[in-house]
Amino acid sequence: MPPGETPADPSRSWPADATLADVGEFEVIEALTALFAQGEHVEVGPGDDAAVLWSDDDQILVSTDLMVQDRHFRRDWCSAEDVGHRAAAQNLSDLNAMGGRAHSLTLGIAAPAHLPLAWLLELGRGFAEECALAGASVVGGDLTRAEELVVAVTVLGTCRIDPVLRSGAEPGDVLALAGRQGWAAAGLAVLSRGFRSPRAMVEAYRRPEPPYAAGPRAADAGATSLVDVSDGLLADLGHVAAASGVAIDVRREALAVPEGLRAVAAAMGGDPLDFVLTGGDDHSLAATFPAHVDLPEGWTAIGTVGAGSGVTVDGTPHEGAAGWTHF
């Protein structure tokens, strides 16, 4: 939206008594961001994994995420240190998904007065350890009292070349994946049933391991689009397909299904590939590359991009939810 132009009122599209649940997560985001005019310093505003801003001749990447107790984590499932790692990882991964590198983060915490100091310091220790993995510094934040525990993080960074957006995929591209996928979803399923094994799956939920080197490598190799897989592989590929105006097809046979996923699925009577296709929280990366490009280290081809719209699996629409939504 050009500077100075008055945003449209998105509330006119909905009944006056509409709730967030009535509208849905992404429609709410669209309606809210429609209110915000963008200045000349904004290269990429709301709608991608991170915003891209101009400062003199430099491009700055910025992203913000929230974590709410009993919504994004449970203290009986995760240690304070785990929560710190997860809070940092989900933000660092957003910049990774632009082909960039984070250099600074701020940490905001709203907490009940009865929260033990030792627990909060452990969260800080885990947060600092995860930031160190990406070579980023914690440069500030805020602390306030609240009835519920909420962690708010903002991350800033840069990229060596132009950021890779969700909107650049083209027919003929190869779809590829970097990082483990489906592990955290299997771990969540295990914890939800009151168990603690397979341990590798549970630990993957508690502490994701984003492939921090994969985003810049993809950008350097000429990736046409990138996305952080936080809500589910099919769900997040849906954002790429919509933003790029293409159809994306995922090949089941190309997806890695480790024994731990098979064990969890067998115990629950499900298909282990469902964890891979619809699970989030691993913060793997999905990208598209021109067909002639050699995939960089850590990337595996898992599908194709064609003309059309939407996401399919082996040419067929997926039945059921494609991933996580908040409303």
Secondary structure percentages of the chain, helix, strand, coil, to 5: 35, 25, 40
Q: 8 falls in which pLDDT band (50, 70, 90)? A: low
- Three-class SS state of 286: strand
Q: Evaluate if residue 4 carries a pLDDT over 70.
A: no
Q: pTM of the full predicted structure?
A: 0.84
Q: What is the pLDDT of residues 277-317, one digit of tens each?
A: 999 999 999 999 999 999 999 999 999 999 999 999 999 99
Domain 16-158 identical in fold to domain 166-313: no
Q: Where are the domains of the chain?
A: 16-158, 166-313
CA distance 143 to 70: 19
Q: Please check whether residue 270 is in contact with residue 190, taking contact to mean a CB–CB distance below 8 angstroms.
A: no
Q: What is 166-313's CATH number?
A: 3.90.650.10
Q: What is the pLDDT of residues 142-176, one digit of tens each?
A: 899 999 999 999 999 998 889 999 999 999 999 99
Q: Which residue has the higher pLDDT, 32 or 201?
A: 201
Known binding-site residue numbers:
49, 63-65, 72, 94, 141-142, 166, 228, 230-231, 281, 324
Known binding-site residue numbers for ATP:
141-142, 166, 230
Known binding-site residue numbers for Mg(2+):
49, 63-65, 94, 142, 228, 231
Known binding-site residue numbers for substrate:
72, 281, 324
142-170 burial: b if 16+ Cβ within 10 Å, else e: eeeeeeebbbbbbbbbbbeeebbbbbbbb
- Does 3.30.1330.10 match the CATH number of domain 16-158? yes
Is the peptide bond preceding residue 7 cis, with omega within 30 degrees of 0?
Answer: no
